[in-house]
Amino acid sequence: MNWNSAADFFAMGGYGTYVWGAYAVTLACMAVEPVLVAMRHRRARREIGGAPR
Amino acid sequence: MSTTLRFFRFASPAAFYPLAGKLVPWFGAVAAILAAIGLYLGMLRAPTDATQGDAYRIIFIHVPAAWMSMLLYVVMAFWAAIGWAFNARLASIVARAIAPTGAMFTFLALWTGALWGKPTWGAWWVWDARLTSELILLFLYAGYIALVSAIDDTRRADRAGALLAVVGSVNVPIIYFSVIWWNTLHQGASVSVTTAPKMASVMLLAMLLMTLAFWAYAFAVIFVRTRAIALERDNHAAWANDSVARAPVRQGASS
């Protein structure tokens, strides 16, 4: 283990802003996309048979 | 007597729809498990880099995102071409389903790259070959999405998109070999098939696990989008009605 404490871990050796900035946006994108795509699928199922789009 | 597996059966949206539905949860679970192990190894076990400090830990998402951005483009162009050449509807649907996820990974490769470039190069962005060709990849994805959604006739849109995707695929080897062909600020490949990896094995393992996690994630998301587009296109088809009847949508959940 490289880290002595949680604060040490979050500081990332002084590069915390860069590292967590990269990870936060990646996590946000990969959390939102599955939700959007599931919503699109649900809408497609509801509108089977010609219900208004 | 047909004892052989008939793979082409799944070339029809009606057959692919339930198959993809069964596979999605498995790909999702594999993605979550591999990402958990990969992040544990990368963020907690892997040592600090001697020259880049802990800023290098961006590699565990940067490289997988960049690899997926290129791989997904090739796969998208491949299925778009198949859909065009053989008039295969499902292939065209898959191509369209890949584009948004590919664009997202391209954006993430650029974003994580900027946040890695700033502390190590002193610049968020430089117009060097690797970065510029990756930015062009983002424009190609955006152009493909804009083109297919601008043409009302679905199959015409598929063909026009296929042409753009196939022509644009020339950019992928340019991205890949840019660090060899030109003198760039971007570092060369850390991993290649011909030489030993230039990184500690725990770092390499974490990076490969994250790549497999992103790959499984892409499968899961693209399969759901493929199902959605298939339903949208075959809105009046009997198979679509049957699939909804077999597993009714919960009303009121989000309507």
Q: What is the pLDDT of residue B50?
A: 85
Please report how the helices B238-246 and B201-233 are oriented relative to each other, as an axis angle in degrees rounded to 10.
120
Determine whether the interchain pair A30/B255 forms a contact, defined as Cβ–Cβ distance below 8 Å. no
What is the number of domains present in chain A?
A: 1
pLDDT tens-digit map of B28-75: 999 999 999 999 999 999 988 888 899 999 999 999 999 999 999 999
Are the C-beta atoms of A45 and B240 separated by less than 8 Å? no
For the stretch A3-29, pLDDT in tens is 889 999 999 999 999 999 999 999 999
d(CA B61, CA B153): 38
**A36 lies in some domain:** yes
- Give residue for tokens 């590292």: A19
pTM for this one? 0.91
Task: Establish if A29 belongs to a structural domain.
Answer: yes
Residue B128 lies in a domain: yes
Q: What angle do CA B185, B193, B29 make, to 5 degrees?
A: 95
Q: Does any CB of chain B come closer than 8 Å to the CB of residue A14? A: yes
Is A38 a member of any domain?
yes
* pLDDT greater than 90 at residue B114: yes
Q: What is the pLDDT of residue B189?
A: 80
Establish if A26 belongs to a structural domain: yes
Residues of A in Cβ contact (< 8 Å) with B221? 33-34, 37
Asked if A42 has any chain B CB less than 8 Å from its own CB, the reply is yes
A6 lies in some domain:
no
**How wide is the angle at C-alpha B117 spanned by C-alphas B112 and B120, nearest 5°?**
130
Categorize the per-residue pLDDT at B5 as very low, low, confident or very high, splitting at 50, 70 and 90.
Answer: low
The total domain count for chain B is: 1
Q: Which domain covers residue A35, as residue numbers?
A: 17-46
Domain membership of residue B147 as a residue range: 61-198+222-233
Closest CA to B39 of A4, A19, A15: A19
A33 in a domain, yes or no?
A: yes
Q: Which chain A residues touch B66 with a CB distance below 8 Å?
A: none
pLDDT over 50 at B107, yes or no: yes
Q: CA–CA separation, B94 vs B83, rounded Å?
A: 9
CA angle B128, B133, B139 (to 5 degrees): 130
Chain B residues touching residue A46 (CB < 8 angstroms): 249, 255
Give chain B's mean pLDDT. 91
B22 in a domain, yes or no?
Answer: no
Residue A53 lies in a domain: no
